[in-house]
Structure 1
Amino acid sequence: MTNSFSHLERLFPGDSEMAGRMRAFDWSASALGSTHDWPENLRVAIRLCLTSRFPICLWWARPLRFLYNDAFLPWLSDTKHPRALMQLGREVWSEDWDTIDPMLDLSDNPVASFCGQIAVGEEFRRAGKCRIDVPPHRGERSTSVFTRHRRWMTGASLGIVASWAVAAGAQRPQTNLPLDPPRERGASITPAYEGWYANPDGTFSMLIGYYNRNTKEALDVPVGPNNRVEPGGPDQGQPTHFEIGRQWGVFVVKVPKDFGTKAVTWTIVSNGETQSVPFTLNKGYPISPFKELGMGNQPPVLAFSQGGAKVTGPPTGVSASLTGTVNQPVAISAWVEDPKAPGEAEAPPAGFGLPPGSVATVSLHKFRGPGKVTFDKARVPVPKQGAMVTCLATFSAPGEYLLRVQANDESGEGGFGFQCCWTNTYVKVTVQ
């Protein structure tokens, strides 16, 4: 009995309502069968779902059945919860299945992707177009929903993970919103707060990324009035080069142990738009970037010389310094390991976010510097534990550059939104 309970606690971690309901559920009588026979990718998906603070639902097996976490409860009415657990998806939202079903068809693409928008709100309900429940504390007008999916397949198993978000407002502001249609150029850059974590000395670290909403325009914004972190800034180690898309946990702001309820604010002005986001030690934003709580996963480990100092997790400083010449490639090499949790397979299950036969990937990114930097490879696969990988960087102008070196395991970009497990660090290159 103790072993069985320990098995359920590991599979359904935490003290949330849905973790408790899943531990008490009679899985043997369900379409998924005994939990002891579940494939590893289903176990991973369940743990990620239950340990996330984001609203996440799982659609699993054929026909798709519905599982979800506590954060997803506001999307379900009293008539749907708790009976929705393991119910057929088409029965949970029978009134809107024609809208939802196509969004869940991702062919065989194993990576996360945005899959569209559903217009919801009172006017759409009256029109009979969609009746997905909007959390009651949200506004009803001009509301939209997007889903982000990952599809896992192994043998006859099929699974889709969907995280949901909502943006609401009676009036559309002039600045672009997170759910605006993408633009190639002219859009803003928004700071993104991954969360905070405690340091051994009693201080706290705020892990921060950004989202460049342009699909084809990378931007350089020097530290100053248009790129400032306050108080204590304007320079607190933030990037001055902004790649397109979402970049996760690219720098850290460390605050003292008595920081309390104060805030650090990052302001970015680009393309005539100002985006300013405050970061606090709010109790809703603690993260565990060195070990994923549900599965025990850990971020990759990097070293820039064989047997040299190792770095893992969020960036803490410059790990290597190199020199180079304008328009001549500079080789940047790293030795990479990906720690495995007890019982974790050496190779990730098929369909996870890594190239076949690799244990991790490494990518290089311009972080700061006066000129253009080009890389010979966008992302380098790591073929085995402890392998050395090399990327060539070419610089268009003399000066001092900071490059961000990022290592990802099978959890992918941003750890699939769970703030673990990837590693970022910096390499300084002085170019003559």
Structure 2
Amino acid sequence: MSSHAARVVLCLLVNALMVSSLSAQPSDRLLRPAPGAGTPVIPFMEGWYGNEDGSVTVSFGYQNRNRDPVQIPVGDNNRIEPEMLGGMQPEYFLPGRHHGAFTVTIPAAMDDTTIWWHLISEGEELKVPGERGSTAYELDRNPRPQGSVQPLIGFSQSGLYGSGPEGITSDSVLQTSVDRPLTLEVWTKDPSSYDSNDPRYAKPLDTRVSWYRHQGPGEVSFSAHESMPFLDTRPASPLSRNAPPQHAVAVKESVGPARVTASFSEPGEYLIRARLDNWRASDSDALDQCCWSNAYQRVLVTE
């Protein structure tokens, strides 16, 4: 077998075995519909971005095939190796397939390092690697065929903005108490450039912000802010290839603030993720790894 053919076979094997299990699985599991409970959460490596400074940013997502959310606190059962690169992985896993929920950046000095995301749930450990590897998993930030690019999201109109799955993490920690709802706000804009002669883009498109409990010890209840009603979305399915957003609001013509009200059931440290997408465009979709951006807000909740 030629070296080229061997590399192709190896890539196919890596793709097929991207999620490896350390315990035996029933041989007929994949032949049956997924049960509503009792299945482990599956980690996914979405792909990697090469950065100008020589570092590599690896995007991770997950699928929860259970009907209900699963909580796996960061620690032995939910860890990144090397540990020094961990800490941003979700603890709260909603039903369905969720793309690009967080990233890990491998510094240029560690370019040959393979990172691993380990998840242990329902007595089963699953892990997935991430590294600068096959070009089949290389992602880019180039405009899509109609002009869509990753939108911009920040925490103030005049402040810094981030884009892509790595997005931006707020430098400040918001504080509230268990009995006091908190308003969360992000600011958005979309630099995508569309052909105005195309009737689909004759008017500026709205973008959408969805809110997620990412980390934290208690329940987080999101309610519509008085200035922004929630969009109607269908319930999440455990087998969905792209879980529909929940607690989502529209940003008119893609520029402006998005707000939501959050209430917390227990004191502790929380991390809330806001995801901005421009999926109303015909060339933007999570299944194509474009185009959305994350913003992470830390919240300290007291009694």
What is the TM-score with the length of structure 2 in the denominator? 0.74
Aligned 8 A contact 1:368 1:401 in 2: yes
**What is the DSSP-based 3-state SS (H/G/I as helix, E as strand, rest coil) of the residue aligned with 2:187?**
strand
Cα 1:401–1:342, aligned 2, differ >3 Å: closer, same or farther? same
Tell me which residue corresponds to 1:340: 192
Question: Is 1:423 matched with 2:293?
Answer: yes
Question: Is 1:252 matched with 2:99?
Answer: no
Superposition deviation, residue 322 in structure 1: 1.5
Superposition deviation, residue 347 in structure 1: 8.4
Which residue of the other structure, out of 201, 204, 209, is the alignment partner of 2:56? Answer: 204
Residues 234-245 of structure 1: pairs in structure 2 closer than 5 A: 235-245=86-96
Superposition deviation, residue 261 in structure 1: 5.2
Tell me which residue corresponds to 1:76: none
Aligned 8 A contact 2:55 2:111 in 1: no
Superposition deviation, residue 190 in structure 1: 0.8
Deviations 1:117-169 (A, max 9, x none): xxxxxxxxxxxxxxxxxxxx999xxxxxxxxxxxxxxxxxxxxxxxxx9xxxx
Tell me which residue corresponds to 1:213: 65
Deviations 1:347-389 (A, max 9, x none): 8569xxxxx9951100110111111001114111112232222
Q: Tell me how far apart the structure 1 counterparts of residues 28 and 148 of structure 2 sit (CA, whole Å).
A: 36
Q: Which runs of 5+ in 1 are unaligned?
A: 1-136, 140-164, 166-171, 351-355
Aligned 8 A contact 2:216 2:270 in 1: yes
**What is the DSSP-based 3-state SS (H/G/I as helix, E as strand, rest coil) of the residue aligned with 1:431?**
strand
Q: Tell me how far apart the structure 2 counterparts of residues 373 and 175 of structure 1 sit (CA, whole Å).
A: 38
**What is the DSSP-based 3-state SS (H/G/I as helix, E as strand, rest coil) of the residue aligned with 1:194?**
strand
Deviations 1:328-359 (A, max 9, x none): 22111222212222526798569xxxxx9951
Cα 1:336–1:260, aligned 2, differ >3 Å: closer, same or farther? closer
Residues 408-419 of structure 1: pairs in structure 2 closer than 5 A: 408-410=277-279, 415-419=285-289
Cα 1:416–1:178, aligned 2, differ >3 Å: closer, same or farther? farther
Q: Which runs of 5+ in 2 are unaligned?
A: 1-10, 17-23, 224-229, 231-246
Tell me which residue corresponds to 1:311: 162
Deviations 1:14-58 (A, max 9, x none): xxxxxxxxxxxxxxxxxxxxxxxxxxxxxxxxxxxxxxxxxxxxx
Q: Tell me how far apart the structure 2 counterparts of residues 184 and 327 of structure 1 sit (CA, whole Å).
A: 33
Q: Tell me how far apart the structure 2 counterparts of residues 338 and 426 of structure 1 sit (CA, whole Å).
A: 18
Question: Is 1:373 matched with 2:224?
Answer: no
Cα 1:363–1:348, aligned 2, differ >3 Å: closer, same or farther? farther
Q: Tell me how far apart the structure 1 counterparts of residues 183 and 43 of structure 2 sit (CA, whole Å).
A: 31
**What is the DSSP-based 3-state SS (H/G/I as helix, E as strand, rest coil) of the residue aligned with 1:384?**
helix
Q: Tell me how far apart the structure 1 counterparts of residues 105 and 31 of structure 2 sit (CA, whole Å).
A: 31
Q: Tell me how far apart the structure 1 counterparts of residues 146 and 30 of structure 2 sit (CA, whole Å).
A: 30
Q: Tell me how far apart the structure 2 counterparts of residues 385 and 365 of structure 1 sit (CA, whole Å).
A: 20
Q: Which has the higher contact order (CA 8 A, sep 6+)?
A: 2
More strand by share: 2
Cα 1:222–1:385, aligned 2, differ >3 Å: closer, same or farther? closer
Aligned 8 A contact 1:302 1:335 in 2: yes
Superposition deviation, residue 258 in structure 1: 5.2
Kindly provide the amino acid, as one letter, of the partner of residue 362 in structure 1: V
What is the TM-score with the length of structure 1 in the denominator? 0.54
Cα 1:244–1:348, aligned 2, differ >3 Å: closer, same or farther? farther
Superposition deviation, residue 306 in structure 1: 2.4
Which residue of the other structure, out of 264, 271, 277, is the alignment partner of 1:402? Answer: 271
Aligned 8 A contact 1:176 1:187 in 2: no
Tell me which residue corresponds to 2:81: 230
Superposition deviation, residue 408 in structure 1: 0.9
Aligned 8 A contact 2:178 2:267 in 1: yes
Q: Which has the larger radius of gyration?
A: 1
Aligned 8 A contact 1:197 1:287 in 2: yes
Q: Tell me how far apart the structure 2 counterparts of residues 275 and 175 of structure 1 sit (CA, whole Å).
A: 17
Which residue of the other structure, out of 386, 390, 393, is the alignment partner of 2:255? Answer: 386
Kindly provide the amino acid, as one letter, of the partner of residue 50 in structure 2: A
RMSD of aligned residue pairs (Cα, Å): 3.2
Tell me which residue corresponds to 1:359: 206
Aligned 8 A contact 1:406 1:425 in 2: yes
Kindly provide the amino acid, as one letter, of the partner of residue 360 in structure 1: T
Quick one: percent identity of the two aligned structures?
32
Cα 1:138–1:181, aligned 2, differ >3 Å: closer, same or farther? farther
Superposition deviation, residue 176 in structure 1: 8.4
Residues 126-165 of structure 1: pairs in structure 2 closer than 5 A: none
Q: Tell me how far apart the structure 1 counterparts of residues 40 and 28 of structure 2 sit (CA, whole Å).
A: 7
Question: Is 1:330 matched with 2:182?
Answer: yes
